[in-house]
């Protein structure tokens, strides 16, 4: 049973460029979450999906951010026109909806550096 995987693990880009990250959840998990973690802080919620439906978005998710989960399996997070303030670790988590018994399991993260 493989865990949550994320690709790439590291991304360095120049300000103004677009970047896209991918997350593959644990195979039977129907929920997928994105969080952002800056240095010295705890992860902050961005958005989550139940199957292919995006059910909640944080106000942290500005118009430059878009997330998709087209077939209810893997998900992508795109950041357009990156800014230096977007530099952070982007974490993906998945869970199986067992009502209130679901626990989120995290991937290794994608570390984004915007120059």
Q: In this complex, which beta carbon is closest to another protein, that of residue 18 or of residue 97? A: 97
**Residue 3 backbone dihedrals phi, psi, to 5 degrees:** -90, -165
Contact call for residues 110 and 89 (beta carbons, < 8 A): yes
Which residue, 4 or 79, is less far from another protein as judged by CB? 4
Shortest Å, Cβ 47 to another protein: 9
Sign of the alpha-carbon torsion through 4, 8, 9, 15: negative
Q: Name the one residue in this structure whose structure tokens are 């290794």.
A: 108
Q: Around 68, how many Cα atoms within 13 Å sit in the side-chain half-sphere?
A: 6
Q: Which stretch binds another protein (CB under 8 A): 17-25, 61-69, 74-82, 89-97?
A: 89-97
Minimum CB distance to another protein, residue 16 (Å)? 26
Q: Which of 91, 94, 112, 114 binds another protein (CB under 8 A)?
A: 91
DSSP type of residue 100: G
Q: Which two tokens stand for residue 72?
A: 């209810």
Residues found near another protein in the complex (CB under 8 A): 33, 35, 40-45, 48, 56, 58, 89, 91, 93, 95, 97, 99-100, 102-109, 111
């Amino acid at each position: 049973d493989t865990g949550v995987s994320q690709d790439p693990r590291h991304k360095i880009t120049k300000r103004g460029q677009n970047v896209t990250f991918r997350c593959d959840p644990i195979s039977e998990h129907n929920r997928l979450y994105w969080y952002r973690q800056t240095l010295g802080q705890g992860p902050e919620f961005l958005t989550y999906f139940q199957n292919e439906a995006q059910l909640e978005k944080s106000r942290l998710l500005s118009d430059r951010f878009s997330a998709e989960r087209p077939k209810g399996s893997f998900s992508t997070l795109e950041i357009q026109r990156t800014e230096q303030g977007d530099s952070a670790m982007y974490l993906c988590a998945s869970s199986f909806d067992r009502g209130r018994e679901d626990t989120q399991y995290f991937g290794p993260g994608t570390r984004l550096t915007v120059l």
